[in-house]
Amino acid sequence: MRVGYARLATRLVSLSQWCAATVLSMARAENIRAVVQGVRYDARSSFLRGCADAPQAVRRVLGNGSANWCTESGVDLSQRNDWRDEGDVEPPDDALAALEIIDHETAARVGEGVAVLSIGGDHAITHPIMQAMARVHREMTIVHFDAHPDLYDELDGDRLSHACPFARIMEEHLASRLIQVGVRTSTPHQREQAVRFGVDTYETRSWDGMLPALSGNVYLSIDVDVLDPAFAPGVSHHEPGGLDVRQLLGALTQVAESDCTIVGADIVEINPGRDINDMTAMVGAKLVREVLGMMLS
């Protein structure tokens, strides 16, 4: 029976690889340049769960008629056929199984010329997403917006916690450069980790609003708690003293105007159970529109 299972497993892997290749070639045939995926996973959250409901909350306000589908620079996403929403990835709570599924699903979507925008989920999802991205794209620069550096070696014994993804990403050399913007909670341990991994850190207390020059392949990871809780109350970890939405959009504009290619992005840690009148879901929706517009420009 063992041989039988092994053979079946091999066939399932071949089948899934064939499906992934087919999806990719279909995407190319249709000129799809960006896809959106929801990642309904919040089991690695250290404080509160609820982020798994963010993809629906963001999609609901994107489609409820309260705003149009134009980016600030005038790209009307409702008139474009070069992007599509591929629905949700719904991993089980088990960390290793979840990582494998998120990696696998992302791998089926990412390609040369096809960027993937993920709506999280807690920040743990960025590690398996980057595993999939790194098999396609070399020498990626991550621009990471967050109140927290998420560089813990482990938190409460969990090395796959949402507080650890950037330690795992840098250890596995999934990116060649990590730029962190908006950090205002770094512990002595995480400061050591930042030095160890050569992180380029722009702390909120001293940031002048400027990003360093960017080139090559860029991945954007946006934890919405980079914003002040006044502008985005619907997150698990309120950290006062954060950016306003315009400062974040200003930084994204600098990325858009630099000589780089945005190969992927995630918008994570929105917790609808903590939101007030969809304020934070609307911030998420705006970020989806702006980042999609950047991917398609």
The distance of closest approach from Cβ of residue 5 to Mn ion in the complex, given in angstroms and rounded to an integer, is 41
Q: Is 245 exposed, middle or buried (0-12, 13-18, 19+ CB in 10 A)?
A: middle
CB nearer Mn ion, residue 89 or residue 147:
147
The distance of closest approach from Cβ of residue 110 to Mn ion in the complex, given in angstroms and rounded to an integer, is 24
Amino acid symbol at 262:
I
The distance of closest approach from Cβ of residue 204 to Mn ion in the complex, given in angstroms and rounded to an integer, is 12
Q: How many residues bind Mn ion (CB under 5 A)?
A: 5
The distance of closest approach from Cβ of residue 197 to Mn ion in the complex, given in angstroms and rounded to an integer, is 17
The distance of closest approach from Cβ of residue 236 to Mn ion in the complex, given in angstroms and rounded to an integer, is 8
CB nearer Mn ion, residue 33 or residue 184:
184
Closest listed residue to residue 74, CA positions, set 278, 293, 242: 293
Six token digits for residue 144: 């990471």
The distance of closest approach from Cβ of residue 184 to Mn ion in the complex, given in angstroms and rounded to an integer, is 10
The torsion region of residue 114 among left (phi > 0), alpha (psi -120 to 50) and beta comes to beta
DSSP class of 227: B
CB nearer Mn ion, residue 88 or residue 239:
239
Say whether residue 225 binds Mn ion (CB under 5 A). yes
Say whether residue 148 binds Mn ion (CB under 5 A). yes
From the list 69-77, 215-223, 248-256, 257-265, the region that binds Mn ion by CB under 5 A is: 215-223
Pattern 64-83, binding to Mn ion, x per CB under 5 A? --------------------
- Measured distance CA(5)–CA(24) in Å, rounded: 28
CB-based contacts of 42, cutoff 8 Å, min separation 6: 49, 50, 51, 52, 121, 122
The torsion region of residue 65 among left (phi > 0), alpha (psi -120 to 50) and beta comes to left
CB nearer Mn ion, residue 42 or residue 146:
146
Around Cβ 155, how many Cβ atoms within 10 Å? 15
Say whether residue 146 binds Mn ion (CB under 5 A). yes
Say whether residue 223 binds Mn ion (CB under 5 A). yes
- Summarize as ranges the residues that interact with Mn ion (CB under 5 A): 146-148, 223, 225
